[in-house]
């Protein structure tokens, strides 16, 4: 067989195999088969060995031309197939960015926190600064300094969890009053939000654990009418509408005179229900003019200064605002209940 015939044979076979190759892997195989150390082109070298010295350069060129031809075919086809394969891969891994994402549940605020933050926002906008006091406090700040003497019958009004003779879980956020008076000179216009604890029977209306915001203002010539107007403005801003209020004289050792403020029951619109004990009204805070003895406990001269104070029940207000008829829901951790509040 002559070299030319052999070259034609190899070329024909190669072109057919090239046409049939569908993957880059098959091309790699062809490359080894034709151009490898033991490949078809290497076989042609034997023609060089037997060639005359005149034939040799021509044979060499023919073999080399075939090598160049095969190499360029292989390279072009390989490039094309690799590109196709890459496109197929990309398509299969395609991310559809128009798909809506999956929502993560990040949790939400507890309704009491929502209510508390709301109340704080309103009061801060009215010029009150925020003060805090400890949940575990001494008898002095919770009782004695607020004009409850050791054997004062009013202590029975506040069933207390005692830790020791002198330490207790604060029964109200009024414990922040004297602390703040010790810290600042009048004028003092402050609120104290926080947790309170009482050893009470748990019912739809009362709980052993609840929240209050104490509010007080001490300056020269503070009067009862300042208290009324402040509380009216506070409630109107908070509920974003005029609310019906009712003030009744009441007794708290740390104020004189003292009173309680009721808001018309939102749940039954004053008709009477379980929450308002059929009265049509809900007691939301106690208030009054700060007792001279309390001012003295805080080192403030009652001859020169006067002040008002109020203690607002956060759960009570949240119940009004959201129409909740049982205070126990707040501490039952039932997500069906808790998820309803998005302020
Ligand atoms: N500390 C009282 C309570 O927990 C609420 C209260 C009543 C606070 C009258 C006041 C006030 O500041 O003047 O029942």
CATH code assigned at 329: 3.30.930.10
**Which residue owns the Cα nearest ligand 1 atom 7?**
286
Closest ligand 1 atom to 216 CA: 12
Distances (CA, A) of 270 to 235, 244, 265: 17, 10, 5
Question: Strand runs (DSSP E) across the chain, as ranges?
Answer: 129-130, 136-138, 167-169, 188-197, 209-219, 245-250, 255-264, 281-290, 306-313
* Mean pLDDT of all residues in 253-270: 88
Q: What is the C-alpha to C-alpha distance for residues 214 and 227, in angstroms, rounded to an integer?
A: 13
Same domain? 85 vs 116:
no
Q: How far apart are CA 260 and CA 331, in angstroms?
A: 26
Give distance in angstroms: CA of 287 to centre of ligand 1.
6
pLDDT in the model for residue 29: 94
| 152 in the same domain as 73 | no
128 and 77 within one domain: no
For the chain, the helix, strand and coil percentages under 3-state DSSP, each to the nearest 5? 45, 20, 35
Last residue of a domain, one of 40, 59, 92: 92
Q: Considering the chain, what percentage of its residues have pLDDT values greater than 70?
A: 98
Nearest alpha carbon to residue 308 among 255, 250, 271: 255
| 75 lies in the same domain as 175 | no
- Answer whether residue 148 shows pLDDT above 60: yes
- Mean pLDDT value across the chain: 91
136, 331 Cβ separation under 8 angstroms:
no
Rounded CA-CA distance 240/320 in Å is 13
> Hey, whose CA ends up nearest to atom 13 of ligand 1?
287
CB within 8 Å of 291: residues ≥ 6 apart: 146, 147, 253, 254, 255, 256
- Confidence band (pLDDT; 50, 70, 90) for 343? low
Give the ligand 1 atom nearest the CA of 157: 14
Q: Whose CA is nearest to atom 3 of ligand 1?
A: 172
Q: What is the pLDDT of residues 27-39, one digit of tens each?
A: 999 999 999 988 8
Q: Note the pLDDT of residue 55.
A: 86
Residue where one domain finishes, among candidates 58, 92, 126? 92
pLDDT at 20 over 70: yes
User: Running DSSP on this structure, what letter comes out for residue 171?
Assistant: S
Highest mean pLDDT of the ranges 5-9, 54-58, 301-305: 301-305
Mutate to test the pocket of ligand 1, among 159, 252, 292, 293 (most ligand atoms within 8 A of CB): 252
Give the pLDDT mean for 253-271: 88
- Domain of 314 in residue numbering reads as 112-338
The answer to whether residue 105 sits within a structural domain is no
151 compared with 130, residue with greater pLDDT: 130
**Both tokens of residue 262?**
């009721």
What average pLDDT does range 60-82 have in this prediction? Answer: 93
DSSP designation for 135: S
Domain count, the chain: 2
Reference 343, options 119, 115, 120; nearest CA is 115
Q: Please, which pLDDT band fits residue 303 given cuts at 50, 70 and 90?
A: very high
Q: Are 284 and 261 in contact, with CB atoms under 8 Å apart?
A: yes
Q: Which of 60, 92, 124 is the last residue of a domain?
A: 92
Q: Contact 325/275 with Cβ under 8 angstroms? A: yes
Q: Nearest residue CA, atom 5 of ligand 1? A: 311
pLDDT > 80? residue 215: yes
Please calculate the CA angle 311-276-334 and round it to the nearest 5 degrees: 80
pTM: 0.69
pLDDT band at residue 290 under the 50/70/90 scheme:
very high
Going by pLDDT thresholds of 50, 70 and 90, the confidence category of residue 222 is very high
- Whether 296 and 177 map to the same domain: the answer is yes
């Amino acid at each position: 067989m002559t070299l030319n015939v052999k070259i034609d044979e190899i070329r024909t076979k190669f072109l057919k195999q090239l046409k049939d190759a569908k993957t880059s892997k098959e091309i790699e195989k062809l490359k080894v088969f034709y151009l490898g150390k033991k490949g078809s082109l290497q076989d042609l070298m034997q023609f060089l060995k037997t060639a005359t010295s005149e034939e040799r350069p021509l044979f060499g060129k023919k073999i080399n031309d075939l090598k160049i031809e095969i190499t360029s075919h292989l390279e072009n086809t390989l490039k094309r197939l690799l590109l196709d394969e890459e496109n197929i891969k990309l398509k299969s891994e395609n991310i559809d960015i128009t798909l809506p994402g999956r929502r993560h549940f990040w949790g939400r605020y507890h309704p009491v926190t929502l209510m508390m933050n709301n109340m704080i926002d309103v009061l801060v906008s009215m010029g009150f600064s925020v003060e805090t006091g400890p949940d575990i406090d001494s008898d002095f700040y919770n009782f004695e300094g607020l004009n409850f003497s050791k054997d004062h019958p009013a202590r029975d009004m506040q069933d207390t969890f005692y830790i020791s003779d002198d330490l207790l879980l604060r029964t109200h956020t009024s414990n922040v009053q004297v602390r703040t008076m010790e810290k600042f000179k009048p004028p003092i216009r402050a609120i104290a939000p926080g947790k309170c604890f009482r050893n009470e029977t748990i019912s739809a209306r009362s709980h052993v654990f609840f929240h209050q915001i104490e509010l007080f203002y001490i300056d020269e010539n503070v009067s009862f009418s300042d208290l009324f107007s402040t509380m009216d403005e506070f409630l109107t801003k908070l509920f974003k509408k005029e609310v019906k209020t009712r003030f009744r004289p009441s007794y708290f050792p740390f104020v004189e005179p003292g009173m309680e403020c009721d808001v018309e029951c939102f749940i039954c619109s004053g008709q009477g229900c379980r929450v308002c004990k059929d009265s049509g009204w809900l007691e939301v805070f106690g208030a009054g003019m700060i007792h001279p003895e309390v001012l003295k406990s805080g080192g403030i001269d009652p001859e020169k200064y006067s002040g008002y104070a109020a203690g607002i029940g956060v759960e009570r207000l949240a119940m009004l605002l959201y129409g909740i008829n049982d205070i126990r829901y707040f501490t039952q951790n039932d997500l069906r209940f808790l998820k309803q509040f998005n302020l």
